[in-house]
């Protein structure tokens, strides 16, 4: 089983909370009687979704790097053992 990176998990949760908060704030701005604030609510909601998507994607990148690290850990250990066990001057068998 792959390790779940805590930083990636926190970033993903924060991105979801950020998107929901952006939706709630834009809805509360949309109920305003001032036309400028009402039109800015759509812009605010769009920006919060884009930023939340970026944060979530960054969390996914961190998790993928963790998965790559976990997947190659055994390979690197076996290569280093082969290099250490090889007493001749020939290249090690990989």
Model pLDDT for residues 28-57, shown as the tens digit of each residue:
887 767 777 778 888 899 999 999 999 999
Q: How confident is the model at residue 76 (pLDDT cuts 50, 70, 90)?
A: low
Tell me: pLDDT of 22 over 70. Answer: yes
pLDDT, residue 52, reads 97
The tokens for 76 are 């690197």
The residue to which tokens 């997947």 are assigned: 71
Q: How confident is the model at residue 1 (pLDDT cuts 50, 70, 90)?
A: low
Q: What's the CA gap between 55 and 79, in Å, rounded? A: 36
Tell me: pLDDT of 78 over 80. Answer: no
pTM exceeds 0.85: no
């Amino acid at each position: 089983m792959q390790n779940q990176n805590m930083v990636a998990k926190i970033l993903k949760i924060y991105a979801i909370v950020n998107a929901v908060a952006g939706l709630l704030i834009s809805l509360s701005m949309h109920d305003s009687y001032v036309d400028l604030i009402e039109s800015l609510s759509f812009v605010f909601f769009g920006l919060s979704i884009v930023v939340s998507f970026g944060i979530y994607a960054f969390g996914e990148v961190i998790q993928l790097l963790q998965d790559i690290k976990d997947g190659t850990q055994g390979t690197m250990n076996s290569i280093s053992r082969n290099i250490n066990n090889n007493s001749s001057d020939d290249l090690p068998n990989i």
